[in-house]
A and B are shown apart, each in its own frame.
Chain A
Amino acid sequence: MFKMGSLFRSEEMCLAQLYLQSEAAFACVSELGELGLAQFRDLNPDVNAFQRKFVNEVRRCDDMERKLRFLEKEVKKDNLAIDDTGENPPAPLPREMIDMENKFDKLETEMKSVNSNQEALKKNFLELTELKHILRKTQQFFEQTHVPQQYDDETPLIASEFSRSFNRFGVHFFYYRFVAGVLMRDKISAFERVIWRACRGNVFLRYTEIEAELEDPHTGDKVNKYVFIVFFQGDQLKSRIKKICTGFRATLYPCPETPQERREIALGVMTRIEDLQTVLNQTADHRRMVLSQVALNIRVWLIKVRKIKAIYHTLNLFNVNAEKCLIAECWCPVVDIDRIQLALRRGTELSGSSVPSIMQQMQTKENPPTYNQTDKFTSGFQAIIDAFGVSNYREVNPAPFTIITFPFLFAVMFGDMGHGLLMFLFALYLVLKENRYMKHKPEDEIFKMMFDGRYLILLMGLFSIYTGFLYNECFSRSINIFGTSWNFLMEFRLTLDPNKPGVFRGYPYFYGIDPIWQSAENKITVQNSYKMKNAVLMGFAQMIFGLSLAFCNRRHFKDKLTLYCELLPQLLFLCALIGYLCMCILYKWSVWTVAQSNTAPSLLIGLIDMYMLTDPKSNNRVPLYTGQYQVQIFLVIVTVLCVPWMFLSKPYILYKRSNNTQDDICCFSLYDRLITQSMMEAGGLDSQSDDDVAILHHENNDANYGKQEPESFDMSEVIIYQAIHTIEFCLSCISHTASYLRLWALSLAHSELSEVLWSMVMHTGLATSGTSGAILSFFVFWFFSSLTVSILLVMEGLSAFLHAIRLHWVEFQSKFYKGEGYIFSPFSFTLIVEGKVE
């Protein structure tokens, strides 16, 4: 699948026209959908969604999908596992659609009848259970009221007002009538108040909660309810209370007055509940049986229906001018034309059509979509680029270079062996387990993001180990591998000065930074200067690389004008300004020795002098090298000359050209027409009827003439555009170089932060001696490690990541990348079935 070099530029695309026999169209589109390499264009943009040709079929699919969703919901309700075999069934032919519809219809009606049966039964069951509870609870009410009856009314108990009135009710119990029912828990307080007010306090209400949760037969939710009983006198109150009860949707149950009757009813209810339970179980079994069948197949069905729907959607994009064939236009990669043609042939064969489907390339002035083939490794890097902007068609794609430069720049800021190792191991885990995670898509969005970037993180970790090795830092500690090249002086505060005799052994540490610096007082001073200069060097290298990619672009698009009038002065400008500075840095590093360090010239002052056009000798400064002044004067002149070159040359040439070409346009269009015609004739459209050719001809002409209109040349616009670009480039040379200093700043911050964490946390644990030290270390370690992960790995990692992104998007890509293309989104079943595309 992955071809070398294909990532460098996006795939070559072409616009093709397909002539599909109407009986073969379905099968052909189905094959193309499996292939997923063609992006269809809407040929009827003015037609409403509901006025298109295959709208009825789409609607039927919608209906099938609805039924399947209903069945799926029922399956999920019963907690049945949906069978996922990973099978990918092909889209069924249109004639099978009716069978499917019938099947789903039958299942749906069956399911619905089962459901309504079950609901009726459950409702019945609920009523009986509620009645059971009422009987049981009211029994308690009655018993409670009977208890005080045994006492004498006069006995001075601690009778409160309430209990006395309560007693009174109890005594005259049989003169009162009552209503008993069941009510939702959340309504009980409002109910109590309304009933009290509406009946002016002439009723007595008791209620208590049913401990068991009841099931709502309609929704299947668990609900809590209360049993209540209202005592009252008179018919008027009765009707009133009943109205209130209906108002609160309470269910009332007949409740006999004598205990014997209640007991009898309770017995009857119990037996009926038992009977009902068996019936309910049987219904549930039946339902389960039906659903298990559904669960086995529903995934395949859903895929099939979605595929059919997608096919009809696509067919709706086609032009149906002629009766017997459909005309489609699609973008496809040039390299895959053979595969598309093969798919078309297969589709035609499958449908049994005798007339072949025809594919023909079209000429167009439209911008083709950008199609970068990626695999699981490159997709993460491509995503970073695409997040900034999809590259123009055939423009140099920065993604392949990003694979190395991104983790590297990240690692420069994040250099620490320990942290890098942890990151690497985390990513390695994701990579090793990727098959498992691919199958069961992670739900968590943040985790998903990290999973998608697992190879990126892997490389970032790996590179961080390397830079950490160079910086000689592992959780901010240094490791002495090759033996230090400095002699210790027995000072407590260690300042390393190579000029002192006997301190430096004369040969450098073998690789990376000497571990002795870890304990040196002047560590930061030395490293700052070193890392800062490194940052400028790396920045310059990347910017020059960006410009050379711009060169590739210009070469590819044969844009000599921009190459010579824009790119070349840009290159000179950058080299003369920043390149010279880099040269100076390297020269000073290699030629000037430690012994001369006191007299060595400052590069910064040198740079300022260069643009002040002052001779270093005149200020009694030591020159970096002989002839410095002359070289610098020359470079300044080059720099200054580059500006008008960039600004004026291109607009001038464009202006000249526009004057020349205005006369030629008529000839051009005539020539074009001739070409189109001859193309038509050579096109081999024998099998098509005449009006098809006419259509094609017409459209082609449209396409060509639409674009052929000479763009009106507006000098002021060109000048303004050019001025903006020139100013932007000149300023950005300075600001971008400065911006690369973030490499130094972040690496400094990271190493300082990890050192602080070590000395403030871990060190205190390790410094304590004895048993208490061991225990302390144990606890401190957890604290230390959690802070390491949360602050140093996650937070610092994120910040370095963002800065690396910025360096790529702004500093690097601004040199060559337009990013104004649009992405190739082929008609592909894999995407549709996964639900990524409508």
Chain B
Amino acid sequence: NKVSSFKIKLENGGFLEGLVRGFKNGISKEDYRHLTQCDTLEDLKLHLQGTGYGHFLANEPSPLTVSVIDEKLREKLVIEFEYIRNHAYKDLATFLDFIKYSYMIDNIILLITGTLHQRQLSELLPKCHPLGIFDQMETVTIASTTADLYNAILVDSPLAPFFKECISEEDLNEMNIEIIRNTLYKAYLEAFYDWCQQKGGATADVMCEILAFEADRRSIIITINSFGTELTKEDRAKLYPRRGKLYPDGLLELSKADEYEAVKRVSELYAEYKPLFDGTGNNPGDKTLEDKFFEHEVTLNVNSFMQQFQYGVFYSYVKLKEQECRNIIWIAECIAQRHRAKIDSYIPIM
């Protein structure tokens, strides 16, 4: 019986899981140390050749710029992801699409904000994440109200179901773009969470943990960022994704918070989040809360690789790769701007 269930699991994405586990190995701790010692971007390139990234920069003429590295790193991730997506079917395909949706949301928001600021489309497009590109995306510029946006454009896109809550006849402005983003994200996270839960098994175990953290992180960040803005507390409470560990009591408390300390008090009631708030601050040497969150996310994602035959590895792979790319870019930026003091504050991936 065990063998047969093993077989079923293998047929259902076992090959791809193996592939992902292979893709995962990029840069070791040792490599990071070497990277931070580089003097120029050329050195960085030379060293990256010896890591899992291989010759991805080999065809780039000197001099290198950080943006070229960024673009190539992203391209590599996208090629790998698309390969996996093209070979996936049934549930795994849905799962992978869920991963893509978050990038779609980011892209839409980016385009709308850009249009509001009178930017040209051609200027905005290169900034969009290639994983989040869909057919109708570039036409969002014609919409002036959210209803417009939904009725004309997004109704055919996969994001339509997440959009239900934010349809209104109000004109788009900066404030409600933020609200749209967060509402979309909320709907997305809840849908993703529910899907994983319904899928059950190890996938649910792993993914719910990660998504719950993601939801709580959003809630906390929304609260902190809302201080000093026009956002009312009731509106703010509507933006909290209701799938995290903070739900329901913590979110209720959060919605009442007026200052950073209050947020901290609420979060410290939860064992997982207490350490994240300890030792954060604005003093030199302290890590920012954001970095602490990233670190925790990395830990969760690394743990996801401890379990087999579940879809969490695909999600974690994307997130870890993204973090790794962010690290490389951080180091590259520090090198390029000759600002070495902070070069070590990348998020190590254990």
Contacts and interface: CB of A to CB of B under 8 A. Distances in A.
A467 B135 CA distance: 69
Contact of A240 (B46, B49, B142, B151): B142
Interface stretch (A23-31, A187-195, A404-412, A529-537): A187-195
Interface string B125-147: 00000000001111111100000
B47 A244 contact: no
Given A48-B37, A59-B42, A198-B153, A247 B139 contact: yes
B34 interface: yes
Interface string B96-114: 0000000000000000000
Nearest to A191: B135
Contacts of B136: 190, 194, 247
A70 B138 contact: no
Contacts of B60: 66
B46 A50 contact: yes
B43 interface: yes
A243 B141 contact: yes
Contacts of B47: 48-50
B70 to A, nearest CB: 20
Given A66-B59, A66-B61, A193 B138 contact: no
Contact of A247 (B46, B138, B151, B155): B138
B135 to A, nearest CB: 4
A448 interface: no
Contact of A66 (B58, B135, B142, B156): B58
| Most chain B beta-carbon contacts within 10 A, residue among A51, A66, A247 | A247
A66 B42 CA distance: 14
Given A48-B37, A66-B58, A198 B139 contact: yes
Pairs of residues from A and B, 4 with the lowest C-beta to C-beta distance, nearest first: A247-B139, A247-B138, A50-B43, A198-B152
A781 interface: no
A193 B139 contact: no
A246 B121 contact: yes
A204 interface: no
Contacts of B59: 66, 69-70
Interface residues of A, number: 26
A69 B61 CA distance: 12
Contact of B156 (A194, A243, A244): A194
A832 to B, nearest CB: 16
Choose among A50, A62, A70 the residue with the greatest number of B CB atoms under 10 Å from its CB.
Answer: A50
11 contacts: A48-B34, A50-B39, A50-B42, A50-B46, A69-B58, A69-B59, A193-B156, A194-B152, A198-B148, A247-B140, A247-B142
B139 A49 contact: no
A698 interface: no
Given A194-B153, A198-B152, A246 B138 contact: yes
B121 A247 contact: yes
Interface of B: 34, 37-39, 42-43, 46-47, 49-50, 58-62, 121, 135-142, 148, 151-153, 155-156
Interface string A23-63: 00000000000000000000000001111000100110011
B326 to A, nearest CB: 22
Given A50-B43, A197-B155, A247-B142, 19 more contacts: A49-B34, A49-B50, A51-B37, A58-B46, A63-B61, A63-B62, A66-B59, A66-B60, A70-B59, A187-B135, A194-B156, A197-B151, A240-B142, A243-B142, A244-B142, A247-B121, A247-B139, A247-B141, A248-B135
A249 interface: yes
A49 B121 contact: no
A59 B137 CA distance: 42
Nearest to B134: A190
B288 to A, nearest CB: 30
B139 A243 contact: yes
Interface in A195-211: 197-198
A248 B42 contact: no
A247 B152 CA distance: 13
A59 B63 CA distance: 12
Nearest to A199: B152
Contacts of A66: 58-61
A702 B200 CA distance: 60
B58 A59 contact: no
Contacts of B151: 197
